[in-house]
Amino acid sequence: MPRFKLTIEYDGTPFCGWQLQPDAPSVQGALEAAVKAMSGEEVRVHGSGRTDAGVHALGQVAHCDIAKTFPPGRFRDGLNAHLRPDPIAVLAAEIVPETFEARFSAKKRHYLYRIVNTRANLALDIGRVWRVPRALDAGAMHHAAQRLVGKHDFTTFRDTECQAKSPDKTLDQLDVIRDGDTIHVVTSARSFLHSQVRSMVGSLVWVGEGRWSADDLAAALAARDRAACGPVAPPEGLYLVRVEY
């Protein structure tokens, strides 16, 4: 039974998130329906991680096992045909060893958060960035962000409904880069807690506005208390960019 690795791009706006839900459209559900339409088989499509409602992906990875044999290119094209008009694209399909697991084989996940720092309303980027009208000091945000890099207890930046066994995570990268009116927050780690990236970004925006200093951010981390977190950034600015194996 071939195991296919899928690399997937999607606009998360119309979905309740990656994970299958009985009463709401999900990315996983749309992919499983496309696999069934093409192969006639009901199979589980396993993702590398569960993106929340409204979160986008440029390089989500998933795997599935099907009994029928398809050339990878035909499988990709067939899935894309059945996915229309949903805003989901299978960028690549490849046959991998049965030991490959989209979630557990991953060595690092890379995320991007996009902020547009302008007083003007959005036109083309509605639903794809967080517009922050107040002036942000991206340099201060980047300086403060380095206080979060490394291994820490990230309870402060963890959703209260997070199901991870431990709040300890090792953050490999957290960079804040300004390009004109756009601010990119680039982060990577082997894995993240539920809402960790959005929680960190929201707190960094407080730093950028001058409400918090780098020491305030470090104190929030040390508090290990969800109540110490700043605002949680909205989902529409977050992208799963790439998963390393």
H/E element, 214: helix 214-223
> What is the DSSP secondary structure assignment for residue 104, as one 8-state letter?
T
User: What three-state secondary structure class fits 134?
Assistant: coil
Query: Two tokens at 173?
Result: 């990268």
- Quote the CA–CA distance of 110 and 95 in Å, as a whole number: 23
The answer to whether the bond into 85 is cis (omega within 30° of 0) is yes
Q: Which of 11, 52, 175, 215 is flagged as catalytic?
A: 52
Q: Is 216 a catalytic residue?
A: no
Nearest to 76 by CA among 62, 64, 93: 93
For the purposes of burial, counting CB atoms within 10 Å of the CB of 145, is it exposed (0-12), middle (13-18) or buried (19 or more)? buried
Query: Two tokens at 42?
Result: 């009901």
E strand map for 134-198 = 150-153, 168-179, 182-189
Residue 152, amino acid: H
Residues recognised as catalytic: 52
